[in-house]
Amino acid sequence: SPVLVWFRRDLRLSDHPALNAAVKSGNPVIPVFIHDDQVETLGAAPKWRLGLGIDHLSETLEGLNSRLILRRGPALETLRTLVQETGAGAVFWTRLYDPAAVDRDTELKAALKQDGIDARSFGGHLMFEPWTVETKTGGFYKVYTPFWNMVKNRDVDAPLSAPAKIPAPDAWPSSEALSDWNMGAAMDRGAAVVAPYVRLGEAAAQTRLSTFIDKIVARYDTTRDQPAVDGTSGLSENLALGEISPHQCWHAGLRARQEGKPGAETFLKELVWREFAYHLMHHTPRILTDNWKEGWDSFPWNRDETTEAVMRWQQGRTGIQFVDAAMRELYVTGRMHNRGRMIVASYLTKHLLSDWKIGLKWFEGCLIDWDPASNAMGWQWSAGSGPDATPYFRVFNPVTQLDKFDKDRQYVKRWIAQGRRAPSETALSFYDAIPRAWGLSGDQEYPAPVVAADEGRKRALEAYENRGF
């Protein structure tokens, strides 16, 4: 009887243990994607990007004489219907770790088992299952470096190759049309502007990994901090949707390290930051919603996301060039350089004394590489409320940071049109990407700072000190 392979955030065919096991079983395989509540409630950009990913996977499967069956509805009910329609005896999927997915999957697995179905979850999204990394006293890690030391020499499974063939069932169940799902409906901005920046699908991700390892990783230690340089892997988008596996990245990084490429070790460490974020989310799911550290609930953060200052942050017109360039990059490309993320998050939470949850939510709407664990860890790290967070007195100075990491202002020129006689095309494309309702145009004057760098720093330090941090 057929095996249903339920795809979620693992939109690839290679190094896919669940698909691999399904093919190995010798039974027909029916790939499925379910549009349930958890898909429904995704932010605008992640949902749109997921739609592109589903479409691409579907085409790839068709190239192998297989299909991706699309159904909408609550996951358990939908799977039960499919089991009935196809006579499937098994349902396989790749494990997820955010609390909503864990609750859904736990319940669903028990229910399917009760129905007599072989319901099985597999690894693949992470290299180190969060519960397998323990401190000497049996607890979990709250600080990155010891976590890294604990895992850095572990064997990571060698990536599996894609199945050469996926056995098809005698008859395919019906599928809904992806276009009916309207995955881009909430992109109230130019999706057409963002589209060229998308690296779509497994093959493109693999090509990028090769280019990164051949040409970039050797100098990654320095280039990774320069937002104007193509100096990082850019694979977060593909990792977020499972178009590439961390194992594939890890093994490529290991080979580069063996070849003596100096930046390779740092790349491995970054991959482990992602694992660490999942480790934290598994052990303390409240990292997604609440101040992780005690004592922060009473911090007098502005919690109103409609203030003028917050809106100017969202719209990339704080008058602070580094912040604005990064916020505009986010709008146009659906991504933001890591240095930019740290700067804008610090500016929102420290200079503007606004709750990190406002920023978390904005990113969740705008990022095509949105990842629940990395986003929450990044925001709480920046705000100071998270585990292993930047100390409260470390307030990034967005002006000196620019001198350090964008000396000749290439990044600023790329993203800010105002005040230039011949603005770059990328800077102008920002005005095509944003909602009309914002009423912005490139010929408006560049604004004076909402809060100047020094003044904001002083104000933040006072607020933090008054709280006794």
Q: Which residues pair with 7 in a beta bridge?
A: 33
Residues 127 and 247: beta-carbon distance below 8 Å: yes
For the CB of residue 346, give the shortest distance to ligand FAD in the complex, in Å: 9
Q: Which is nearer to ligand FAD, 69 or 402 (CB)?
A: 402
Residues 43 and 370: beta-carbon distance below 8 Å: yes
For the CB of residue 217, give the shortest distance to ligand FAD in the complex, in Å: 9
Q: Which is nearer to ligand FAD, 249 or 450 (CB)?
A: 249
Q: Which is nearer to ligand FAD, 2 or 378 (CB)?
A: 378
Q: What is the dihedral of CA 104, 109, 111, 116, to 10 degrees?
A: 160
For residue 278, say whether it is annotated as part of any ligand binding site.
no
Q: Which is nearer to ligand FAD, 79 or 277 (CB)?
A: 277
- Residue nearest ligand FAD, CB atom distance: 378
Q: Which is nearer to ligand FAD, 33 or 381 (CB)?
A: 381
For the CB of residue 11, give the shortest distance to ligand FAD in the complex, in Å: 15
For the CB of residue 85, give the shortest distance to ligand FAD in the complex, in Å: 36
Give me the phi and psi of 174, to 5 degrees please. -75, 155
Residues 78 and 35: beta-carbon distance below 8 Å: no
For residue 234, say whether it is annotated as part of any ligand binding site.
yes
For residue 369, say whether it is annotated as part of any ligand binding site.
yes
**3-class DSSP state for residue 418?**
coil
For the CB of residue 227, give the shortest distance to ligand FAD in the complex, in Å: 10
For the CB of residue 273, give the shortest distance to ligand FAD in the complex, in Å: 4
For residue 370, say whether it is annotated as part of any ligand binding site.
yes
Residues that bind ligand FAD (CB under 6 A): 224, 232-236, 239-240, 270-271, 273-274, 277, 338, 341-342, 345, 363, 367, 369-371, 374-375, 378-379, 382
Q: Which is nearer to ligand FAD, 248 or 375 (CB)?
A: 375
For residue 267, say whether it is annotated as part of any ligand binding site.
yes
For the CB of residue 111, give the shortest distance to ligand FAD in the complex, in Å: 31
What tokens appear for 163 in the block? 């199945």
Distance in angstroms (rounded) separating the CA atoms of residues 21 and 119: 12
What tokens appear for 115 in the block? 């129905």
Report CA 332 to chain centroid distance, whole Å: 17
For the CB of residue 163, give the shortest distance to ligand FAD in the complex, in Å: 26
Q: Which of 291, 198, 208, 287 is nearest to 244 (CA)?
A: 208
Distance in angstroms (rounded) separating the CA atoms of residues 253 and 234: 14
Distances from the Cα of 313 to the Cα of 121, 295, 380, 422, 430, angstroms: 41, 26, 18, 25, 15
Q: Which helix (H) or strand (E) holds 399?
A: helix 398-405
For the CB of residue 362, give the shortest distance to ligand FAD in the complex, in Å: 10
For residue 210, say whether it is annotated as part of any ligand binding site.
no
Distance in angstroms (rounded) separating the CA atoms of residues 103 and 84: 24
For residue 179, say whether it is annotated as part of any ligand binding site.
no
* Encoded amino acid at 23, one letter: V
For residue 232, say whether it is annotated as part of any ligand binding site.
yes
**Polymer length of the chain:** 469
Q: Which of 212, 450, 211, 236 is nearest to 336 (CA)?
A: 236
**Cβ contacts of 307 within 8 Å, gap of 6 or more:** 354
Identify the burial level of 424 via C-beta atoms within 10 angstroms of its C-beta, where 0-12 means exposed, 13-18 middle and 19 or more buried: middle
For the CB of residue 342, give the shortest distance to ligand FAD in the complex, in Å: 5
Q: Which of 328, 332, 277, 334 is nearest to 51 (CA)?
A: 334
**Cβ contacts of 427 within 8 Å, gap of 6 or more:** 328, 413, 414, 415, 416, 417, 420, 442
Report CA 53 to chain centroid distance, whole Å: 14
Q: What would you report as the CA-atom Rg of the chain, rounded to the nearest whole angstrom?
A: 23
Residues marked as binding for FAD?
220, 232-236, 267, 369-371
Residues marked as binding?
220, 232-236, 267, 369-371
